[in-house]
Amino acid sequence: DAKTTQPPSMDCAEGRAANLPCNHSTISGNEYVYWYRQIHSQGPQYIIHGLKNNETNEMASLIITEDRKSSTLILPHATLRDTAVYYCIVRVDNYGQNFVFGPGTRLSVLP
Amino acid sequence: AAGVIQSPRHLIKEKRETATLKCYPIPRHDTVYWYQQGPGQDPQFLISFYEKMQSDKGSIPDRFSAQQFSDYHSELNMSSLELGDSALYFCASSLSRGLSPLHFGNGTRLTVT
């Protein structure tokens, strides 16, 4: 699976949009981009995933560049509860194949 | 909606003892994954099962074994426990078909003393 690069930490003001970047310059054509987050000591939580089109759900939006070498997770109105470690993972969609976590971005939402 | 259930939530064992962790996947999910997360570390993949067969293997020690049963629940068996085995153990499940992401349980915190 392709390696990803994320900034180790970011701050965001409460109520503002949080834009979390991820670089995956060696991504292959059949690899998807997944985003998970982990709030302190809880199980990782699935947020969103996509292949090449932008995606949106009730939690976030995922913007993937046209060349697919990078993506951005957008939390439109960050709250204090969004403080967590966010993981960008690139993976072929095969059953049983694992997700590789780390290192991720520690997002701190500030009041 | 039903989630992944793990038991027990907390477990305290002594060195050289054995431990068994259980995972009940989301109904109709046929794939189960186990992860280990040490203090201050990212989750590390241990092993996964699809339709009761091992499908992928990560950094699982030889002292550990796991299996998936006919009802799709899974158990992680750990023997000759060491202090370094103290960690959070997460189980996740997914559907093999379609673009199904992994859904994680809230983990079992194992403390080895």
Contacts with A, B 41-100, CB within 8 Å: 42-45, 48-50, 55-56, 58, 88, 90, 92, 94, 96-97, 99
Q: What is the pLDDT along chain A (111 residues), one digit of tens a residue?
A: 668 999 999 999 999 999 999 999 999 888 899 999 999 889 999 999 999 989 999 999 999 999 999 999 999 999 999 999 999 999 877 666 778 898 999 999 999
How far apart are the C-alpha atoms of B4 and B2, rounded to whole Å?
7
Query: Which residue intervals of A22-61 are DSSP H helices?
Result: none
Percent helix, strand and coil across chain B, each to the nearest 5: 5, 50, 45
Q: Do A38 and B101 touch (CB under 8 A)?
A: no
Q: How near does any CA of chain B get to the CA of A43, in Å?
A: 5
Return the pLDDT at A107: 98
